[in-house]
Structure 1
Amino acid sequence: MIDHFGLSATFYDRFIGRPDFGKLCRMLRLPAKGRMLDAGGGTGRVAAHLRKLVDHLVVLDASGKMLAQARHRDLAAVAAHAEHLPFPDAHFDRILVTDALHHFRDQQAAIREFARVLSPGGLLAVEEPDIRRFPVKLVAVAETLLMMRSHFHSPVQIREMMARSGLSARTDGGPVFRAWITGEKPV
């Protein structure tokens, strides 16, 4: 299997677009006290902008080379798969997944794990390419041709996965390319 993210780690940030930080802050109700997990956070490109808005932030990714870039940014980094989180129950107050859910092997298992490690009242925010949009369909084809094993879901499907994991979820469509889905763990 090709390690696409390991191969691109040193120049990844130069080619990937910037998320809407204002939108992410509203979704996660930042600034806030507590701990936040950036799951699939790779190089820490998003976490670096949000770390001062929470007490403690951890970047989680399966790619050691991507996490090496996060460590260069002085971010706490943990190598693990989202489907098997090495954290205790109710450990995080906020979890962010930016442009990564489609790369997880089992999205439902990952969301179940996020719900497990969220504290009551905690928030899960997912920014994901909207597969209903034609440009995203082209990206999906390209990632298939590159053998990236990506699996895109519609915002409604992601919201339903959150609901099956016990989170109350809502969807907020974006411009041509993005969708945002927020899940909240009941108190």
Structure 2
Amino acid sequence: MTALTWRTPDKQDRRLLQSFTCAEPKPPKGRPLLWEDEVQKYFRQEALADTNSSARFDQRFRIAEDAAGVAAAYTHARPEQPHPDLRLPPGTACRYLLMLGVAVRHRHQGGKVADAVLLDALHDIAEREPDHESVAVLGRVDRRNLPSQNMLRRWGFEEVIPGSAAMRLGWWLLILER
């Protein structure tokens, strides 16, 4: 696996972001994977503006490039209010891992690239909360998105609010301790 170099994109990167392909163009069984299309659309069309408008939540948008363009991207931010059904230890900071995408060309490699992306995101999250001994990292994952669920499990996340037919996104939690 090629080492990824991370940076914060800016408005000059709009064209580069338009080329980021993290949704399978021809998914298995011919059915589009809704969550992949949502993530791709977000990074191509919304992430820059969303990050700028969410500065008060310290939203971060990071991309990694390789010779072919954007290899991966993620965003994370402090929540306006932590999820009401989650009880976090006192003094624990909270951040949402909002979106994470890996270019299609880096898929099917045993999760190596996805794990490297998540590792960078977790380091960046921890660095953004230097005054806290622990940080609760929350992510939402479509209940049918097994690769993302497996990635989160490899890193110790727990599904704390399962997705369902009525609410397709489940909530996943990891407490980072210093």
Which TM bucket (shorter chain)? Answer: 0.3 to 0.5
TM-score, scaled to structure 1: 0.39
